[in-house]
Amino acid sequence: MLKIVKFGGTSLASAEQFAKVKEIILADKARRYVVVSAPGKRFSDDIKVTDLLLTCFRLRSEEESFDEPFEKIRQRFREIIADLGLDLSLEADFDEFKKRIVRGASQAYIASRGEYFNAKIMAAYLGFPFIEAAEGIIFDEDGRLQEEQTNEKLGALMKKHPRAVIPGFYGATENGDVRIFSRGGSDITGSLAARAVKADVYENWTDVSGFLMADPRIVEKPRAIQVVTYRELRELSYMGASVLHEDAIFPVRREGIPINIRNTNAPEDDGTMIVEKADTSEGIVTGISGKKGLGAIYIEKSMMNNELGFGRRVLSVLEDRKISFEHLPSGIDTLTVVADRTALVGHENEIIHALQKAVSPDRIHLVEDLCLIAVVGRGMAGSPGVAARLFTALAEEKINIRMIDQGSSELNIIVALNEADYEKGIRAIYRAFAS
């Protein structure tokens, strides 16, 4: 058995958390490769180390002093090292790092140092070798991950050591220029590492015991999800569920490696297993998630279905204005384009004029106060009455449905509501399917 374990920022925010992580790793000899994030928040008003690093970059760019945030970063790592009782000094590394910032180091390089320094500390604490992510995670000059090259190089590096610590979040080009993933990208590093050594399980340790059926900030004590498929996770992540970076799914999915979401502060919990296929014993609906801040363009035109290229011309208007769409439900004479509200607001007249010129609609108008709620579940396809239960739950709360969209896979049903009904809608749907 071989496991890759990744620990997030809250799991590594202090020496106390480091001690929990070490206990977890040593409790299972299969946990041989460790991917770490930068230190996160220790308390609600704390600042993440990555945010402090980005502040250093911003101040340097504005030709202002970055001494204050830099010293806060240095002190965070000093405290962790001292509280762990390690015979380790990063002072020379920090002095060189500061010189590089002054000399104009890139934003990516500066942002990546939280993971770099944390991995150095974790390697010393565990007595494991340190693997430099810049040597194994390969990007091209445009910042695109080179996955096959990464799989080969990272695998070769890891196989040199029976155990190792790897910093997450970043890699480098062939020329050595550091590149980073989007925030939360250490999840991707863990996934790439799991694929590179064909791990049996990728354990992703965070501050929650896996996925919940709904947002606990909206639904009180929602039911935990024991098993979720990759496809369901993609749907839930896209609609706002944020326990795992959505791009972390792809490398392990190709190799059939399951992901286990675990809680560093409650290691006895089984968490959520993410797998390729699962039965429907947990229930019809796996999870409910949503997204606010949306708008929609409603277009009506008689005989639209006979007009060749109608949809393409509509989307080209948005493409010309660098607006991507979220959903595109349509009827025989209607087409609705759902997009991020911020991309539409302030450009309404321009967009409407361009669409009138492009497709000559009979009617067109914009709505700016929408939200989407997705009901996701592998049991939905073979269960009659799912849509009826969903619509009845919303009707009983006197919530008006503005739009309905169901994927061809029957894995989800998406409804658009007025944004004011978002939380009430989530709670109503949860009650309908969680009982």
Least reliable range by pLDDT among 7-16, 50-59, 82-91, 219-228: 219-228
Torsion of CA 185, 191, 197, 203, to 10 degrees: 110
> Do 157 and 69 reside in the same domain of the chain?
yes
Q: What confidence category does residue 39 fall into, taking pLDDT thresholds of 50, 70 and 90? A: very high
Distance, CA of 231 to CA of 233 (rounded, Å): 5
Query: Quick one: average pLDDT of 284-301?
Result: 92
- CB proximity list for 332: less than 8 A, separation 6 or greater: 304, 305
Quick one: pLDDT at residue 272? 93
Quick one: pLDDT at residue 280? 61
Q: Tell me whether residue 281 is in a domain.
A: no
Quick one: pLDDT at residue 243? 79
Q: Tell me whether residue 112 is in a domain.
A: yes
Q: What confidence category does residue 358 fall into, taking pLDDT thresholds of 50, 70 and 90? A: very high
Query: Quick one: average pLDDT of 291-308?
Result: 93
> Do 334 and 212 reside in the same domain of the chain?
no
> Do 230 and 332 reside in the same domain of the chain?
no
pLDDT for 412 beyond 90: no
Q: What confidence category does residue 345 fall into, taking pLDDT thresholds of 50, 70 and 90? A: confident
Q: Tell me whether residue 282 is in a domain.
A: no
Cβ neighbours of 98 (radius 10 Å): 18
Q: What confidence category does residue 13 fall into, taking pLDDT thresholds of 50, 70 and 90? A: very high
> Do 331 and 219 reside in the same domain of the chain?
no
Query: Quick one: average pLDDT of 13-34?
Result: 98
CATH code of the domain covering residue 321: 3.30.2130.10
Query: Quick one: average pLDDT of 335-342?
Result: 92
> Do 190 and 324 reside in the same domain of the chain?
no
Query: Quick one: average pLDDT of 335-341?
Result: 93
Quick one: pLDDT at residue 187? 96
Alpha carbon of residue 398 to chain centroid: 33
Domain range enclosing 118: 3-275
328 vs 86, higher pLDDT: 86
- ∠258-262-268 over CA atoms, to 5°? 120
Least reliable range by pLDDT among 50-64, 136-150, 271-285, 384-398: 271-285
pLDDT for 382 beyond 80: no
pLDDT for 125 beyond 80: yes
Q: Tell me whether residue 152 is in a domain.
A: yes
Could you give the count of Cα atoms lying within 13 Å of 151 in the half-sphere of its Cβ? 12
The answer to whether 40 and 30 have CB atoms below 8 angstroms apart is no
Q: Last residue of a domain, which of 275, 309, 331? A: 275
> Do 124 and 238 reside in the same domain of the chain?
yes
> Do 267 and 400 reside in the same domain of the chain?
no
The winner for highest mean pLDDT among 145-149, 232-236, 411-415 is: 145-149
Quick one: pLDDT at residue 275? 93
429 φ, ψ to 5°?
-65, -40
Query: Quick one: average pLDDT of 120-149?
Result: 97
Q: What is the CA radius of gyration of the chain?
A: 24
Quick one: pLDDT at residue 245? 87
> Do 248 and 349 reside in the same domain of the chain?
no
Q: Tell me whether residue 193 is in a domain.
A: yes
Quick one: pLDDT at residue 93? 97
Q: Tell me whether residue 72 is in a domain.
A: yes
232 vs 41, higher pLDDT: 41
Q: Tell me whether residue 22 is in a domain.
A: yes
Whole-number average pLDDT of the chain: 93
Q: Last residue of a domain, which of 230, 248, 275? A: 275
> Do 125 and 175 reside in the same domain of the chain?
yes
Quick one: pLDDT at residue 407? 65
> Do 115 and 153 reside in the same domain of the chain?
yes
> Do 238 and 371 reside in the same domain of the chain?
no
pLDDT for 197 beyond 90: yes
Q: Last residue of a domain, which of 245, 275, 305? A: 275
Quick one: pLDDT at residue 434? 86
Q: What confidence category does residue 130 fall into, taking pLDDT thresholds of 50, 70 and 90? A: very high
Tokens 């799989």, residue?
151
Q: Tell me whether residue 355 is in a domain.
A: yes
Quick one: pLDDT at residue 281? 57
pLDDT for 410 beyond 90: no
The answer to whether 205 and 5 have CB atoms below 8 angstroms apart is yes
CATH code of the domain covering residue 228: 3.40.1160.10
Query: Quick one: average pLDDT of 62-82?
Result: 98
Cβ neighbours of 35 (radius 10 Å): 32
What amino acid occupies position 340?
D
Domain count, the chain: 2
> Do 109 and 46 reside in the same domain of the chain?
yes
